[in-house]
Amino acid sequence: MDVKKYLIVNADDFGQSRGISQGIIKAYESGIVTSASLMVRWPAAVYAAAYSREHPRLSLGLHVDLGEWIYREQSWVPLYEVVTLESIPAVREEVVRQLAAFYELLGKQPSHIDSHQHVHLREPARSVLLDIARELQVPLRHFSSAIGCCGRFYGQTTEGAPFPEAITSERLIETLAGLPEGFTELTCHPGEGNDLETMYLGERAQELKILCDPQLPARIAAMGIELCSFANLQRSSWPASDGSV
């Protein structure tokens, strides 16, 4: 390939609800999404996995789900917790369980690994997922020296306040224009409907609209950026993570 910039557009939360899954499918079929990350604990995971089996070009990773937190009264409080994050054995057991569920649903290993609300940026989830990613020889978000991660396409601040200007066509193009050479993963969260209690909901429809902008592929190509997915890359191209972000 002649271009020097490669973009993986990865949709998180695939399988968390039917509406979110349908939005991700639409963003793949009619937009620029090239990969997704599956949450295996939720009932809609069966629906999402079935679609993925029928559409193998959509690379599918594991979105490790250890809980979700919302910002209330100037602090983060749990909406739900799967395990105690301070317990190494509990975290490891749950991650292994979710990985086994992924195998059961897809019949193959994930093309990449990341986590809900980036819990793997902190210990002990960090070390647990680093070990598993090395064993599987797949990239772990933020920890692969071969690929960068861009999370600027997100409609809330770090405190959960609305930030709609971050999910506009203009902001996305500005972000993509500044990408470095090599591989970059752009994270996104498209979705449809209102069938889930979550801190990030109304913004999903706006993300979906932008990701499906019919002019977007041509604008991306004009910047010398080639869309690709984790499935396009050979496992040998992912050197072992060194643990640094």
Beta bridge partners of 148: 184
Look at the block and give the residue holding tokens 């050479």.
181
Phi, psi of 142 (to 5 degrees): 80, -10
Q: What is the dihedral of CA 219, 224, 230, 236, to 10 degrees?
A: 180
Catalytic residue, candidates 2, 12, 65, 242: 12
To the query of whether residue 12 is one of the catalytic residues in this protein, the response is yes
Residues 125/85, Cβ–Cβ less than 8 Å: yes
Beta-strand relationship, 113-115 and 75-81: unpaired
Nearby residues of 61 by Cβ (< 8 Å), 6 or more positions away: 10, 35, 36, 37, 38, 110, 111, 112, 113, 114, 138, 230
Catalytic positions are 12
